[in-house]
Structure 1
Amino acid sequence: MSTIETRGLTAHYGDFQALFGLDVTLRSGETTAIIGANGAGKSTFMKAITGLIKTAPDMIHIDGAPAGGRDAHTIISQGIAMVPEGRRLFPSLSVEENLLIGTHAKRSGPWSLDRVYDVFPVLKERRRLSGTSLSGGQQQMVAIGRALLSNPTTLLCDEISLGLAPVVIEELYRTIAELRSEGLSIVIVEQDVARAVRVADQVYCFMEGRVSLSGAAQDIALEDIRNAYFGI
């Protein structure tokens, strides 16, 4: 299991600085919720972890070794996979072909196509259809299944409930809870604060690219979260 730590993490989009010295520890086998308003830096943080935004090597450590600035393929090979905001499926590929992209990491582990179909049986029924022809919830299942097929030890989930019906969100979060029970480390970026805190072991609240609150989920009061969220 990977422990991921950022030390003074900064990130830029050209001349615009999005992150300002973040110190975050994502512990092995735990679920971490990252909350904050739009523009707080949540997605930028995830992109930095997965190599989609370049950082200095010593700003990100995986199992104690500097890992900042590595390309996304290398990060995936180390057992870190992301379910991106918006799902990012390929419209020219079938459901099954979109899923099989996850196997390109060539990591050994418990996840196979059959097991993904066991978790999401509707995907097996529709495996020959275009991935983008499915409902939003089913597309999200494809995105999660694709990430699982890389056999990660850490799963990063960026806004997986965005735009989905409540009943679908409940189903997805039950799946997340089952994955957590198997020892998978999970990071959830979520704007539904109450839901995120309920499933998390620890919580980080971001505001304007900085950590405004952090701690064990069970020890943080909702009032403290509200104040950190809005900068009160």
Structure 2
Amino acid sequence: MSLLAFDRVDAHYGNARILHGVSFEIGAGERVAILGRNGVGKTTIVNTLCGVTTIRAGAVCIRGVRYDSLPNYLAARSGIASVLQGRGILPNLTIEENLLLGAAVSRPGPWTLKTVYELFPALGERAGNPGLGLSGGQQQMLAIGRALMANPDLLVLDEPSEGLAPVIVDELARLFNHLANEGTAIMLIEQNIRLIQRVADRYHVLSKGEVTETGTLAGMTTQQLQDHITI
């Protein structure tokens, strides 16, 4: 049974249809990349999981259960946590308060404030400081730590390398591989080729709201991957 599957999903913002019959699935422990240029609907996949869009056709399946609409809490309660593009740090909350938001679903598992601070010591050292007082890389660590506090089985990452220095991107690659090796499935929405190559095993190409190609990254050249991103 897959953790997450989109089954011919049409997703709309109001009357605007963004996803056109999108189908893909992610199983336990898999590392899957969603590829495509800006504006093709990649973030709409995340927003559909978060209950932001309206599903007009098809269904989202979570652990084999079909849903033709998703309340905004359902994915998190079901073990799917998202790191949103732009990080979504709440400016009026401290680092620790931002992290505790991730634990609101009360799923059991290894991730607590203690283990997140062990993973990201800089967060623990500044726990009482405002979340936006961190550097860009540290804010991304805060967003990831908040998602981990939900003890997810699937971590959805929307453009996690955006605006970050290459050395920080390399740290993210090591982190995502560590999480995957520990059993957390990864859905990576990304345009940084180096990060995709280091993390993902399979890919789906999205173009104009449709999945146009599916495959494995094994043996794919950097140029071929670049071509998929710019379709």
TM class, shorter-chain normalised?
A: over 0.9
* C-alpha spacing 1:179/1:57, structure 2 compared with 1 (3 Å): farther
Identity across the alignment (%)? 39
TM superposition score normalised by structure 2: 0.93
Aligned pairs for 1:19-168 within 5 A: 19-55=19-55, 58-168=58-168
Q: How many residue pairs were aligned?
A: 231
Letter paired with 2:76: I
Where in structure 1 are there 5+ consecutive unaligned residues?
none
Greater CA drift, 54-63 or 175-184: 54-63
User: Is the Cα contact below 8 Å between 2:193 and 2:226 reproduced in 1?
Assistant: no
Greater CA drift, 213-222 or 94-103: 213-222
Deviation, 1:17, is 1.5
Output the CA distance in 2 between the equivalents of 1:229 and 1:88.
25
User: Is the Cα contact below 8 Å between 1:212 and 1:229 reproduced in 2?
Assistant: no
Output the CA distance in 2 between the equivalents of 1:229 and 1:173.
19
Output the CA distance in 1 between the equivalents of 2:54 and 2:16.
14
* C-alpha spacing 1:156/1:86, structure 2 compared with 1 (3 Å): same
Output the CA distance in 2 between the equivalents of 1:167 and 1:223.
22
Deviation, 1:230, is 4.1
User: Is the Cα contact below 8 Å between 1:36 and 1:206 reproduced in 2?
Assistant: yes
Where in structure 2 are there 5+ consecutive unaligned residues?
none
TM superposition score normalised by structure 1: 0.93
RMSD across aligned C-alpha pairs, in angstroms?
Answer: 1.8
* C-alpha spacing 1:80/1:195, structure 2 compared with 1 (3 Å): same
Output the CA distance in 1 between the equivalents of 2:144 and 2:64.
27
- Structure 1 runs, 4 residues or longer, greater than 3 Å off: 219-231
Letter paired with 2:201: D
Output the CA distance in 1 between the equivalents of 2:70 and 2:12.
16
Q: Find the residue that maps to 1:23 and give its secondary structure.
A: strand
* C-alpha spacing 1:57/1:18, structure 2 compared with 1 (3 Å): closer
